[in-house]
């Protein structure tokens, strides 16, 4: 039977955790009673360097309940890295891993659908928010703009999917091969290419505590996502440099024409020509340097170039999934 691990990153969640622990235990018990998951299934809390009582709460829960496991990160590694630490630790003990936030904003009973889809043969199941009316207008607008920009530059993002998803063990193993420091899970997971599907759910309001993603952190996150997947900003500088160089040449010709027809002050011609020409050249040079830095950046990420789905050369054909 399917062994499930639910991974929950926590950063200063002391207000929320006691309830989260109880609700997730109830969810787990219910899924076991429905014979959907095995009783070996676990709930893994990752303390992302919290400064409040979060770890104490997790630690006590671990002592008290066998199904609760905890990991404490040395410092605040950030949501994405906390998630990664959790799923990599959990993959040893489970067939599939579900990640969710500690604040129970996402309907936890959707996990039932996640597991069913996994049993049907999907490696990745994305939880997608049906509507976002509980989020502020600002949050909705920024999120929408972000998805639009990312799609425009060709990054396959699942619209309105946050980090609420199920991944099979082999999907987690493949993900572990992405060695980049600025890990942006929402962009990387679709790159894995394994069979995937989506499940829709309603998003509720945070029950206790405050958001750990204030506005500036959210912008930073979006910008990281953009620059980890695209050289577009660099290309834009190159293009700008090229255009301004072309314009400067035309302008220089115009200025020369003015000089020849005697419509200028002394000294103005040479001054304006050098400003424009040198400015254009500089921008173009920066863009060119950027192109090389871009290459370094792509190589430095050391992403795997492919991920094997079925391997018939090495060993016998094994069942596609362990379920």
User: What CA–CA distance (Å, rounded) separates 20 from 99?
Assistant: 13
Closest to ligand UDP by CB, 48 or 113? 48
Work out how close the CB of 131 gets to ligand UDP at its nearest, in angstroms, rounded to a whole number. 15
Work out how close the CB of 227 gets to Mg ion at its nearest, in angstroms, rounded to a whole number. 24
Q: Is 211 a residue that touches ligand UDP (CB under 6 A)? A: yes
Work out how close the CB of 188 gets to ligand UDP at its nearest, in angstroms, rounded to a whole number. 17
Phi and psi, residue 45, nearest 5°: -100, 130
Contacts with ligand UDP by CB under 6 A: the residue count is: 16
Strands (E), 180-288: 196-201
90, 91, 98: which is closest to 116 by C-alpha?
Answer: 98
Single out the segment in contact with Mg ion by CB under 5 A; choices: 20-28, 35-43, 98-106, 260-268. Answer: 98-106
Among 5, 9, 184, 229, binds ligand UDP (CB under 6 A): 9
Query: What DSSP string runs through 234-255?
Result: HHHHHHHHHHHHHHHHHHHHHH
Work out how close the CB of 50 gets to ligand UDP at its nearest, in angstroms, rounded to a whole number. 8
Do the beta carbons of residue 11 and residue 127 sit within 8 Å?
no
Site string for ligand UDP, 83-112 (x = CB under 6 A): ------------------xxx-x-------
Among 13, 103, 113, 123, binds Mg ion (CB under 5 A): 103
CA distances from 80 to 50, 71, 101, 181 (A): 15, 15, 11, 10
- Joined together, the tokens standing for residue 166 give 């199920």
Closest to ligand UDP by CB, 100 or 273? 100
DSSP state letter for 67: T
Closest to ligand UDP by CB, 213 or 297? 213
Q: What order do you get walking across the sheet with 161-168 strand by strand? A: 68-72, 42-47, 4-10, 96-99, 161-168, 124-129, 196-201
> Which residues make up the interface to Mg ion (CB under 5 A)?
101, 103, 105
* Contact set with ligand UDP (CB under 6 A): 9-11, 13, 48, 76, 78-79, 82, 101-103, 105, 211-213
């Amino acid at each position: 039977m399917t062994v499930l691990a639910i991974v929950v990153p926590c950063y200063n969640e002391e207000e929320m955790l006691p309830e989260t622990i109880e609700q997730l235990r109830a969810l787990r018990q219910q899924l076991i009673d429905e014979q959907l998951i095995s009783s070996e299934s676990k709930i893994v809390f990752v303390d992302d360097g919290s400064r409040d009582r979060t770890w104490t709460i997790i630690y006590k829960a671990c002592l008290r309940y066998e199904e609760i496991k905890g990991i404490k990160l040395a410092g605040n590694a950030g949501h994405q890295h906390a998630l990664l630490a959790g799923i990599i630790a959990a993959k040893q003990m489970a067939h599939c891993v579900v990640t969710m936030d500690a604040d129970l904003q996402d309907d936890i009973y959707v996990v039932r659908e996640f597991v069913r889809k996994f049993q049907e043969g999907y490696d990745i199941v994305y939880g997608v928010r049906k509507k976002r009316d509980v989020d502020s207008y600002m949050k909705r607008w920024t999120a929408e703009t972000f998805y639009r920009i990312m799609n425009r530059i060709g990054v396959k993002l699942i619209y309105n999917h946050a980090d609420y998803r199920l991944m099979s063990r082999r999907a987690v193993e493949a993900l572990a091969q992405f060695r980049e420091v600025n890990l942006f899970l929402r962009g990387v997971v679709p790159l894995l290419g394994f069979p995937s599907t989506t499940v829709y759910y309603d998003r509720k309001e945070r029950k206790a505590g405050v958001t750990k993603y204030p506005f500036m952190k959210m912008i930073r996150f979006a910008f990281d996502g953009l620059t980890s997947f695209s050289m577009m900003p660099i290309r834009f500088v190159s293009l700008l440099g090229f255009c301004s160089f072309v314009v400067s040449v035309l302008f220089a010709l115009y200025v020369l024409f003015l000089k020849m027809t005697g419509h200028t002050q002394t000294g103005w011609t040479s001054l304006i020509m050098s400003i424009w020409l040198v400015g254009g050249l500089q921008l173009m040079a920066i863009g060119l340097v950027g192109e090389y830095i871009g290459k370094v950046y792509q190589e430095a990420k050391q992403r795997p170039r492919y991920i094997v789905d079925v391997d018939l050369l090495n060993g016998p054909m094994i069942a596609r999934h362990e379920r």
